[in-house]
Amino acid sequence: MSLQLRRWFRQLEPRVLASLNGPLLSRWRPWLDRHDVFSFSRNPLALGVAIGMFCGLIPGPLQVAGTALLCVWWRGNVIAGALATVYTNPLTIVPLYALAFRIGQWVLPGNHVLPPLDGGGNGQWALNLAHWVQAMGWPLVVGLPILGLVLAVLAWLLIQALWLMPLYQRLWRRRKFARARL
């Protein structure tokens, strides 16, 4: 499975690099090529996904922009980073922010109570969600970066493990074969 994914990424890379010749990115191509922003090798890919997981908790439309800036700065894959931000959507944002609040509540001293989410039924769910996030205060402000770092580290480790799985499988088979010969 992992080997097929790696082959797919290697086939995808030339097409992505060819798109750099377009009118929008052609003058930035030397700089972008040098910084592995569109490289689908193990480290830029894992770093891009980790950055995307971290920036996925940024509110609103700034997720992809923040991911792109950090990927360019830290030489991560922008495409993988932008795709990794998809884990936050209207269905998952409430549980993620509640978890971040609990983490912040655990870290900060004092007693902090999670405010109730008012459904209201008035058709203004986005406004109600914004008021709920604002009412969370400091526990959310502290919990979001911690949750983002934990998700980023877990994503980085997962990508590294998936990428190296064929190597570990070959080593395991060789070791098993060598023991069988003895």
pLDDT in tens, the chain (182 residues): 466 766 776 777 777 667 667 777 677 677 666 667 878 889 999 999 999 999 999 987 899 999 999 998 898 999 899 999 999 988 898 899 999 999 999 998 878 777 777 766 666 777 777 777 777 888 888 999 999 999 999 999 999 999 888 888 888 988 888 888 87
Whole-number Å distance between alpha carbons of 52 and 48: 6
Note the pLDDT of residue 94: 85
Q: What is the pTM of this model?
A: 0.76
Domain extents in the chain:
2-181
Amino acid at 99: L
